[in-house]
Chains A and B, each alone.
Chain A
């Protein structure tokens, strides 16, 4: 039970890492997330049901998410549409794209192979496949982000988020950086969508509703619990934040509170986390 929740926390953490790249580094509230997340699942599941191997199918899902990010990026930078609106436009448009891809609003993976089945030969107890696959992918994603942010390109990307005018004066093509960021971020978000769809056994066009909350929750919980951190530590904090958030939800369910009103519980948890740092500041007298 708790193991399964930790596994889910790992898979959702990938979403948090994706959102981190735009929300924290670029200071973008990118709403494409709620479209690219189910898109990754939709494309991946469709590919698997058509006989593509799960790993390749997952990668195709990532590619689809990157294209969604590209669309938002172009609307925002070239079309001069505000970022929130660009994201909303792409998000709602993706609903039709997913219907076109899946040919139905919901597609099941029952009796199909999934990426987690690759570990079947290890004969693990249930749910450990999610932990191991989740860990491997988290290491790849976290490693990838760190390597990327330490290249010249990555430094230019960070500069764009820190101070766009300054970055421009240094000759950085900030528009390109924004598009790049939206693509990478949405690719990672779609990766999370593809993995979650495989772990839950189906893709659904409405799966994206509310996922941005889960992603932000892992970022915010991580920041709240662990405070000032280096880049590497921050990424780890997001992963832990995601696990803690899933555990909190589990506690709410286990406490036998009426799950009909589950959404307000998660909203309260998040609101408390967002308010808490202010009290800390006052106490510390900083």
Chain B
């Protein structure tokens, strides 16, 4: 090699690696976090209304618990903007800032953090099933440095709502996409819950949006109402589903609030802001040394906001009990 710049650079790099190796070997075991105020490192996977709301809820709750950013605590926030190649560097940065607790919002962010440390506590925000994401050994007893909040929809509350607003309708059809991993998991879970209260459950899988129209025609003859899990394919094709359901006067119970607005009848959904608040509570409790991740179960919401589409209820001729209307958020204005 004759290029002097190249050799020079190479030499600097090698010397640096060797020197810091010797240094790191020395101080390796001595790493203590000595902050005057606690530091909370947050890694969010991407900006998107739902995830942003979680972060807002987290910051507000921490402030309520006595950890105000810039005063009684330091919140370091990193946003990966869906670029997975940067998540490792960002996790490293958060660790370097001597975070006392780390928060990962959405699965890839949580995985990046989990891969960097087995010591600093990590709280998960919005991961459907931490166990199948390989983040914890068991959702009930995590066992490591990770715990958090799941964004699974409150299935039981949803079914209770169905019982109240659709009395006597027991034949439930679940329409979902066979290409989405999260859907299969939800279908299994809701089927189990529904059978407990003697619902008849039939599931209908479609490979893509193109088959939904035909499938809905079949379903209209076989079921009393349609349940839609949190499923991107279904969310995208909501208009098709609503059109055919309406011609057949078939009520739709989606699992997400936005799908109620688009023509579903009603649901119980988790408010993303509440998800953030719950995450904030867990972080605060760890900071106050009241709990440890290893024996804090993953929090799964059992209830949420009731959302009713009044226009759709009128169209289907369904009378929603007053007791429900009072506590519910009403979408869609009645034509009457």
Contact = CB atoms under 8 A, between A and B. Distances in A.
Contacts of A236: 1, 6, 10
Interface string A83-110: 0000000000000000100011111111
A226 B6 contact: yes
Contact of A5 (B2, B28, B89): B89
Interface residues of B, number: 44
* Contact residues of B: prevailing secondary structure: helix
Contacts of B264: none
Contact of B6 (A12, A107, A240): A240
Contacts of A227: 3, 5
Given A237-B6, A259-B81, A262-B81, A253 B89 contact: yes
Given A2-B20, A250-B89, A204 B84 contact: yes
B68 to A, nearest CB: 19
B17 A3 contact: yes
B79 A243 contact: no
Interface stretch (B110-118, B217-225, B240-248): B110-118
Nearest to A1: B96
Contacts of A261: 81
A23 interface: no
Q: Which of B84, B90, B112, B133 has the most CB of A within 10 A?
A: B84
* Contact residues of A: prevailing secondary structure: helix
A178 B47 CA distance: 41
A233 B9 contact: no
A233 B181 contact: no
B134 A202 contact: yes
Contacts of B21: 3, 125, 128
B115 A200 contact: yes
Nearest to A125: B24
Q: Which of A3, A5, A103 has the most CB of B within 10 A?
A: A3
A260 B48 CA distance: 12
Contacts of A200: 84, 87-88, 111-112, 115
A242 to B, nearest CB: 12
B89 A131 contact: no
Contact of B133 (A108, A199, A225): A108
A226 B1 contact: no
Contact of A206 (B28, B47, B82, B89): B82
B83 interface: yes
Given A105-B181, A210-B83, A253-B78, A259 B90 contact: yes
B33 interface: no
A232 B111 contact: no
Interface in A148-184: none
Nearest to A232: B1
B214 interface: no
Given A196-B85, A262-B83, 9 more contacts: A3-B17, A3-B20, A5-B89, A6-B17, A128-B24, A201-B111, A226-B3, A226-B6, A227-B5
